[in-house]
Amino acid sequence: MLTGQNKINLILDHVGIKAPTFAKHVGVKYQRILDIQNGKVKNISAEVASRIIDAYPQFNIEWLLTGEGEMLKNGIAHEPDNGTTIGSGRVIPYYDAEVAAGTEYGMEMMQTAPVGVIEIGGLLKDSEFAMRVYGNSMVPNYPAGCVIGLRQYNEHFIEPGTVYVIETEENRFLKRLYYSKDKKAFRCMSDNHMKHENGPMEGEYFYPEFEIPFEDVRRLLRVTGVIKRNIL
């Protein structure tokens, strides 16, 4: 299987430019490309792949991410549009890893390869990659089985009340985020406000809010769109 190093060097050979110029063209720091080129980083991330496709749409994003298939999209340099593109014609990687819309899902946070790509139109046009939702805590807005578009969020603040995917070392949650009162943690709120109707938990929420300290957050992803099951 091709490594990130193999792929980036093949790309540079194909476009006929050096890594510093390539990094400038795709809009990433040169060090990120150099780390892939030298084998320090083993694969091309979804974010970098998406930026490469934006700058050089002739490359096949599935090949960039997995090493499978052809390096170039068939006929893109010479063929007119044959109607196979959908919406914007842009594709993003799709991961079938779990995004927990609940509190009961413990997940391995291993770096996994995407299972495929999704052609996107207006619904996910600002997304870098897509992931499937599991669990019911975010219904009706994000039901189990829907696919959400995501974008890496690099700001040092959140917009309270906005939906994010929040990752820790062991878990990944889809939640509506607010700041805690002491401003040292994120309050994770569910859209599903259903309560227990009987038993020892009567009157309590099925999906109570919880907090994640800032220092435990490994990554934040902004939800940029959703495709629900009935329109998949």
Going from N- to C-terminal start, the domains of the chain cover 1-81, 85-232
The pTM for the full model equals 0.60
Which CATH code fits 85-232? 2.10.109.10
CATH architecture of the domain formed by 1-81: Orthogonal Bundle (1.10)
End-to-end CA distance of the chain: 31
What is the pLDDT confidence band of residue 81, given thresholds at 50, 70 and 90?
A: very low
150-183: pLDDT as tens digits? 998 988 889 999 999 999 988 889 999 999 999 9
Q: Compute the half-sphere exposure of residue 174: CA atoms within 13 Å on the CB side of its CA.
A: 32
Taking alpha carbons only, the member of 187, 179, 183, 182 closest to residue 211 is 187
The residue ranges of DSSP E strands in 139-197, in sequence order, are 147-152, 162-167, 172-179, 185-189
Lowest mean pLDDT segment, chosen from 69-83, 181-195, 214-228: 69-83
108-167: pLDDT as tens digits? 333 456 667 777 666 677 888 888 888 899 999 999 888 899 998 988 889 999 999 999
Asked whether residue 78 carries a pLDDT value surpassing 70, the answer given is no
Residue 207 phi/psi, 5-degree rounding, is -125, 75
1-81 against 85-232: fold identical: no
Mean pLDDT, the chain, integer: 82
Lowest mean pLDDT segment, chosen from 63-72, 74-83, 92-101, 177-186: 74-83
88-98: pLDDT as tens digits? 456 777 776 66
